C-alpha cells in the first residue's frame, strides 16, 4: 500500500498581508560606524532595527529594514529613507512617535507613511541630494570638528565656482570612486552641482544632486574642488580627470564629518521642482 505524503509549508508571516512603511530618518553620524550593520559596531541600521522590533513587540520573525543608501562612519543625514514591513497596520504617526521614544538622542524619525508593498527604499530612487560643509582654518575648531570637514589652507570660491559646473551631466566617474566600491558601472548623472561661501568666507558649502553617487564620490569631488580653490589644480582640470578614469589622478578624500545626506527622491516631479528651487 502506498503512503500518501502531505506537502509541508513552513510558516512565514510575510506570506500574509503586510503593511509597508516608508521612514525618513535624520541622524548625527559622529558616534556611528556608518549606516550598514557591522559586527560589534554601533551602526544606524543596528539601532533602528532594534527600535522597530521593540515597537513591534518581538515579532515571530525579526523585522528587517532597507535603507536608500549607506553612509560611512561620521557622515550625517537629514533625509535618509528606509522601509520595513509589519504584519499589521499602525497609524503612521503612531509609528513615528513610537520609534522616536525608543531611538537614541542622535537619531530621529522625521516622517512615516504607508506605501505600496512593491515600494523599495533603495531601488525606487530617482535622485539623491548631498550637502558638504568645508571649514577653512589653520587649526581644527573643536566646536565644528564633528560637523564640518577641516581644511588647513584657504580656497578661492571664485575658482571653485568656475570649475564645479564641469561635474554636471552624465559621466563615467571612475576617477572619483574609492577602492572598495561594489559598483561595476561608474556612470552617473549629476543634475546640479553648486558651491558658495558663507559671509565670513571661512566656510564653503557644496550641494550635489544626482541620479546616484558612488562610494566616496562626493567627498572625492569636494577634495578636488578645494584643491582647485587652493590653486593646486587648474580651474579647467575636471574634464581631463573624468576622461582619465583613474583614481590615482584624484587621490584626496574630504573628511567624513562635513558630509550630509540631505534628501532622497522617489518622484520625478518633486526632483524637478527642487532643481528649479535650488
Residue 182 pLDDT more than 80? no
The answer on 137 and 181 residing in a single domain is yes
What pLDDT does residue 260 have?
99
> Does residue 2 belong to any structural domain of this protein?
no
What pLDDT does residue 90 have?
92
What pLDDT does residue 6 have?
45
Spatial separation of the C-alpha atoms in residues 186 and 100, rounded to whole Å: 37
158 among known catalytic residues = no
The answer on 176 and 67 residing in a single domain is no
- To the nearest whole percent, how much of the chain has pLDDT over 90? 86
| Torsion angle, alpha carbons of 29, 115, 12, 17, to 10 | 160
Which of these three, 90, 115, 140, is where a domain ends?
Answer: 115
Which of these three, 83, 115, 147, is where a domain ends?
Answer: 115
Confidence of residue 11 (pLDDT cuts 50, 70, 90): very low
Confidence of residue 145 (pLDDT cuts 50, 70, 90): very high
The answer on 266 and 142 residing in a single domain is yes
| Full residue range of the structural domain in which residue 268 is found | 127-277
The answer on 209 and 175 residing in a single domain is yes
What average pLDDT does this structure show over 142-157? 96
What pLDDT does residue 59 have?
72
What pLDDT does residue 16 have?
60
What average pLDDT does this structure show over 18-39? 96
The answer on 157 and 273 residing in a single domain is yes
Among the residue ranges 34-48, 54-68, 136-150, 190-204, the one predicted with the least confidence is 54-68
Relative to beta strand 203-210, strand 127-136 is antiparallel
What average pLDDT does this structure show over 235-258? 96
Spatial separation of the C-alpha atoms in residues 56 and 13, rounded to whole Å: 13
The answer on 148 and 265 residing in a single domain is yes
What pLDDT does residue 184 have?
79
What pLDDT does residue 1 have?
46
What pLDDT does residue 80 have?
98
Residue 9 pLDDT more than 50? no
Residue 178 pLDDT more than 90? no
Relative to beta strand 149-151, strand 127-136 is parallel
Q: Looking at the whole model, is its pTM more than 0.85?
A: yes
What average pLDDT does this structure show over 56-78? 91
What pLDDT does residue 84 have?
97
Which of these three, 84, 115, 146, is where a domain ends?
Answer: 115
For the residues of 105-171, what is the DSSP string, one character each?
TTEEEEEEEEE-TT--TTTT--EEEEEEEEEE-SS--TTTTTTSEEESS---HHHHHHHHGGG-EEE
Q: Is 147 marked as binding a ligand? A: no
Q: What is the DSSP letter of 213?
A: -
Confidence of residue 12 (pLDDT cuts 50, 70, 90): low
From the list 72, 85, 106, 236, the catalytic residue is 72
What pLDDT does residue 15 have?
55
The domain total for the chain is: 2
CATH number reported for the structural domain that contains residue 184 in this entry: 3.30.70.660
Spatial separation of the C-alpha atoms in residues 103 and 88, rounded to whole Å: 21
What average pLDDT does this structure show over 108-134? 98
What pLDDT does residue 57 have?
84
Spatial separation of the C-alpha atoms in residues 214 and 128, rounded to whole Å: 11
What average pLDDT does this structure show over 20-29? 98
- Calculate the average pLDDT of the chain: 92
Amino acid at each position: 500500500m502506498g503512503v500518501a505524503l502531505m506537502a509541508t509549508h513552513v510558516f512565514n508571516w510575510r506570506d500574509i498581508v503586510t503593511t509597508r512603511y516608508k521612514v525618513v530618518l535624520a541622524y548625527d553620524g559622529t558616534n556611528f560606524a556608518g549606516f550598514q550593520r557591522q559586527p560589534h559596531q554601533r551602526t544606524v541600521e543596528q539601532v533602528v532595527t532594534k527600535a522597530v522590533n521593540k515597537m513591534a513587540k518581538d515579532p515571530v520573525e525579526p523585522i528587517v529594514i532597507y535603507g536608500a543608501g549607506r553612509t560611512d562612519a561620521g557622515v550625517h543625514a537629514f533625509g535618509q529613507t528606509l522601509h520595513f514591513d509589519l504584519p499589521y497596520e499602525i497609524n503612521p504617526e503612531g509609528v513615528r512617535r513610537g520609534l522616536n521614544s525608543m531611538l537614541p538622542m542622535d537619531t530621529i524619525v522625521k516622517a512615516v507613511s504607508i506605501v505600496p508593498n512593491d515600494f523599495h527604499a533603495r531601488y525606487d530612487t530617482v535622485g539623491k541630494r548631498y550637502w558638504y560643509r568645508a571649514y577653512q582654518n589653520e587649526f581644527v575648531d573643536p566646536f565644528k570638528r564633528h560637523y564640518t570637514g577641516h581644511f588647513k589652507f584657504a580656497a578661492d570660491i571664485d575658482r571653485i565656482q568656475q570649475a564645479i559646473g564641469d561635474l554636471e551631466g552624465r559621466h563615467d566617474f571612475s576617477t572619483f570612486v574609492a577602492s572598495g566600491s561594489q559598483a561595476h558601472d561608474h556612470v552617473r548623472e549629476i543634475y546640479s552641482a553648486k558651491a558658495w561661501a558663507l559671509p565670513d568666507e571661512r566656510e564653503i558649502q557644496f550641494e550635489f544632486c544626482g541620479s546616484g553617487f558612488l562610494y566616496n564620490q562626493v567627498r572625492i569631488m569636494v577634495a578636488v574642488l578645494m584643491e582647485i580653490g587652493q590653486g593646486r589644480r587648474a580651474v579647467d582640470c575636471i574634464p581631463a580627470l573624468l576622461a582619465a578614469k583613474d583614481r590615482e589622478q584624484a587621490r584626496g578624500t574630504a573628511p567624513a564629518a562635513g558630509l550630509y545626506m540631505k534628501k532622497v527622491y522617489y518622484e520625478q516631479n518633486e526632483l524637478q521642482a527642487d532643481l528649479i528651487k535650488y
